[in-house]
């Protein structure tokens, strides 16, 4: 199994020898390797069992370092980046040759983000290269929000997990691209659409595809537990299941007929930030129960509710 700790020197040593570690961020834990080194990048795809058509996000500790690897940053993205980074915000930019094609799945554009976590910022500041880091889960499964989540699934494949505690946001970064005078939102995440609207009214939310039609994050089975998930099913649909063997993932309230011990409430007080923070951890708990079905419900389509709904829709398989 992997060692779990807060030793930045050890983390650097491993990365410098082209190996991978897991790093904490405010969104989810990342599986990190040297973004400029093809060996490290290959290992990321192997360890995650990730298809090569799904590009990786590159992480740095400041905006100046991003400019070293891209052709230019449009003014509006610069303004947004200054305000929203470090934070759960990822921008797509035209890359220079320094970024290997393997990172971007052959695209001439690269995704950059500055994670808002003190340990990872410190690590990134000390490294001479940026880190490519997808979420540290096997491809298609729920993203990890604690070091233990990473250990449970990838612990046998990596040497070290940098432990930064529980992720404060709990949802992946919002990914945007400025194209044809519009802000294209490729993935809804920790920065809300409402906050993006403070910078431009020209926003296009891509619901079912990203710049790449077979893209990532858009695959139906993404973020999915192994147990089938159903969104607010009609009573008739529940009838096919044994009530004792149903689990519930709800926003604020439990359901009457289903055993209370099988029900997880994301935020009793109705706080969307709290619900987002608990979402992936609670999905994992339900997925480890001896049940046949997970019932969930959609959130209000505001703030982080939109990103939560997006994850739930992708997790829903029946």
Binding site for ligand TXA (CB under 6 A): 25, 27-28, 30, 54-57, 88, 90, 92, 104, 107, 109-111, 113, 115, 133-135, 172-173, 175, 186-187, 210-212, 215-217
Q: Which is nearer to Mg ion, 127 or 133 (CB)?
A: 133
Rounded-to-integer distance, Cα 180 and Cα 185, Å: 13
Q: Which does 115 bind (CB under 5 to 8 A by kind): Mg ion, ligand TXA, none?
A: ligand TXA
Minimum Å gap between C-beta 251 and Mg ion is 23
Binding site for Mg ion (CB under 5 A): 135
- The gap from C-alpha 90 to its chain's centroid, in whole angstroms, comes to 11
Q: Name 22's Cβ contacts closer than 8 Å, sequence gap at least 6.
A: 2, 29, 30, 31, 32, 136, 144, 147, 150, 154, 158, 160, 161, 162
Tell me whether residue 40 or residue 262 sits nearer to ligand TXA (CB atom).
40
**Choosing among ligand TXA, Mg ion, none, which partner's interface includes residue 109 (Cβ < 5 to 8 Å by kind)?**
ligand TXA
Q: Which does 25 bind (CB under 5 to 8 A by kind): ligand TXA, Mg ion, none?
A: ligand TXA
Selection from Mg ion, ligand TXA, none that 30 binds (CB < 5 to 8 A by kind) is ligand TXA
Q: How far apart are CA 282 and CA 285, in angstroms?
A: 5
Q: What are phi and psi of 262, to 5 degrees?
A: -95, 10
Nearest approach, Cβ of 122 to ligand TXA (angstroms)? 16
Q: Measured from the CB atom, is 63 or 219 closer to Mg ion? A: 219
Nearer to ligand TXA, 223 or 250 (CB): 223
Shorter beta-carbon distance to ligand TXA: residue 107 or 252 = 107
Q: Counting Cβ atoms within 10 Å, is residue 234 exposed (0-12), middle (13-18) or buried (19+)?
A: exposed
As measured in angstroms, the least distance from the Cβ of 87 to ligand TXA is 10
Shortest distance (Å) from residue 58 CB to ligand TXA: 8
CB of 140 to Mg ion, least distance (A): 9
Question: Quick one: 213 exposed, middle or buried, by C-beta within 10 A (0-12, 13-18, 19+)?
Answer: exposed
> Structure tokens of 33?
């390797």
> Pick from Mg ion, ligand TXA, none: which does 26 bind, CB < 5 to 8 A by kind?
none
Q: How far apart are CA 178 and CA 21, in angstroms?
A: 32
Q: Which does 34 bind (CB under 5 to 8 A by kind): Mg ion, ligand TXA, none?
A: none
Of 168 and 186, the one with the shorter C-beta distance to ligand TXA is: 186
Q: How far is the CB of 104 from ligand TXA (least distance, A)?
A: 4
Q: Which is nearer to ligand TXA, 41 or 230 (CB)?
A: 41
**Residue 149 · residue 281 · CB < 8 Å:** yes
What does 57 interact with, of Mg ion, ligand TXA, none (CB < 5 to 8 A by kind)? ligand TXA
């Amino acid at each position: 199994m992997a060692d779990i700790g807060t030793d930045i020197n050890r983390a650097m040593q491993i990365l410098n020898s082209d190996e991978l570690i897991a790093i904490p961020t405010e969104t989810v834990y990342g599986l990190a390797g040297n973004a400029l080194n093809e060996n490290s990048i290959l290992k990321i795809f192997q360890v995650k069992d990730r298809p090569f058509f799904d590009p990786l996000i590159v992480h740095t500790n400041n905006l100046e370092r991003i400019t070293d690897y891209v052709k230019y940053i449009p003014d509006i993205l610069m303004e947004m980046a200054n305000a929203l980074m470090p934070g759960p915000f990822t921008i797509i930019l035209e890359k220079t040759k320094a970024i290997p094609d393997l990172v971007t799945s052959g695209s001439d554009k690269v995704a950059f983000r500055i994670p808002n976590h003190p340990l990872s910022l410190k690590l990134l500041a000390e490294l001479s290269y940026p880190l490519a880091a997808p979420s540290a889960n096997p491809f298609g499964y729920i993203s990890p929000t604690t070091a233990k989540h990473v250990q449970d699934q990838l612990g046998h494949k990596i040497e070290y997990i940098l432990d930064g505690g529980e992720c404060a946001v709990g949802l992946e970064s919002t990914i945007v691209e400025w194209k044809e005078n519009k802000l294209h939102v490729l993935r809804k995440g920790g920065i809300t659409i409402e906050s993006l609207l403070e910078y431009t009214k020209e926003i296009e939310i891509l619901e079912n595809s990203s710049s790449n039609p077979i893209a990532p994050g858009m695959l139906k089975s993404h973020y999915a537990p192994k147990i089938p998930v159903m969104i607010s099913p009609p009573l008739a649909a529940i009838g096919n299941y044994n009530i004792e063997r149903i689990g519930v993932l709800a926003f604020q309230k439990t359901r009457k007929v289903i055993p209370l011990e099988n029900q997880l409430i994301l935020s009793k007080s109705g706080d969307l930030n709290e619900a987002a923070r608990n979402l992936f951890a609670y999905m994992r708990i339900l997925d480890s129960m001896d049940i046949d079905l997970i019932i969930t419900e959609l959130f209000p389509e505001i703030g982080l509710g939109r990103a939560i709904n997006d994850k739930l829709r992708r997790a829903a398989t029946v």
